[in-house]
Amino acid sequence: MISFGPIPSRRLGKSLGINNIPSKKVCSYSCVYCQVGLTHKYSAQRQTFYDPAVIFTEVQKHLEILNEADKPDYLTFVANGEPTLDINLGTSIEKLKIFNTPIAVITNASLLGDPQVRKELLLADWVSIKIDAGNEISWKKINRPIAKIDFEMYVDGIYAFAKEFKGRLVTETMLVESVNECADNVIQTAALVSSLQPSIAYISIPTRPPAVSSVLPPNELSINEAYQIFVEKGIKTELILGFEGTNTGYTGNAFEDIINICSVHPIREDTMQELLKKDRADPSILESLLHNNYIQKITYKSNTFFIRKFRN
């Protein structure tokens, strides 16, 4: 359950996900919109999860069984929580370079105040840093960080990393209704993003089931206003408002494919049906996974999603 996909990524094309944090979510944040759900274990302390040799072996096996058409554009560290909490992240990145596939890391940026974390992320080819707010009040409201991390530490860390990083740096800002979408908040966020000079800034809205059920996307007027504010700051900006598509990778083992993808990426119903077809799987596999509480089915904005259900 370490690697999954490839899945169609809104930013990376075909992305082979690497979940370097096993089981329940471990994170320095508990974002209100998080698709993985509420944080089970708050932490700002780096620790060992998987041995890098295990990650390497699992990714190698996964790549070997993929069809040529499903070969990934990126190997992407995207986890059940914050991937930089993995104390062996740098070693894992170094080992995976043998596959000659660009390596991406999607981070909430909360640990970038640590010089060792920055040093390890410098090994990646593409890094996305989370910037949902440009002031402390909104940052705490939307990201709900662990108390050990303060806003000044977070901002200093992202400045330091942006100055050092030679790969492709992007930012992502999630807009949530009545939380951070008002013009004053967006102006502050855009100012922070602009100062980092990312290659591109993504503005997104919740399109998957969020950790807090009351979370809603802003209306079209607010989204357009945010986009215009970013562009007026001279930032190359793209909106991420839609669905990625149904073209997900498969290995031939529907049971593992479904569980692995659901662990960090809720699967929409039409994508699930496409995955079952590709794996030539009996639909009863899906019913079995639901019945045995490996996954659960939920509805969000009139769409049905399947997400991983962790047992107590």
Q: What is the pTM of this model?
A: 0.81
pLDDT at 145: 95
pLDDT tens digit string along 171-229? 999 999 999 999 999 999 999 999 999 999 999 888 788 888 889 888 878 887 888 89
Estimate the crossing angle of helix 269-278 against helix 284-291, to 10 degrees: 120
pLDDT at 312: 40
List phi, psi (to 5°) of 251: -115, -10
Instruction: Tell me the HSE value of 98 on the side-chain side, using a 13 A CA sphere.
Output: 10
Estimate the crossing angle of helix 183-196 against helix 136-143, to 10 degrees: 100
Burial grade of 242 (CB within 10 A; 0-12, 13-18, 19 or more):
exposed
* 298 touches 311 (CB < 8 A): no
Q: For 6-12, what is the mean pLDDT?
A: 83
Mean pLDDT over each residue of the chain, to the nearest integer: 89
Alpha helices in the chain (DSSP H): 52-65, 89-96, 115-121, 136-143, 151-164, 183-196, 220-232, 254-264, 269-278, 284-291
CATH number of the domain at 254-308, out of 1.20.140, 1.10.10, 1.10.1660, 3.30.950? 1.10.10
- Give bridge partners of residue 74 from the DSSP assignment: 15
Give the CATH superfamily of 3-240.
Answer: Aldolase class I (3.20.20.70)
* 119 touches 139 (CB < 8 A): no
Domains of the chain, by residue range, sit at 3-240, 254-308
Place of tokens 């806003």: 151
pLDDT at 300: 64
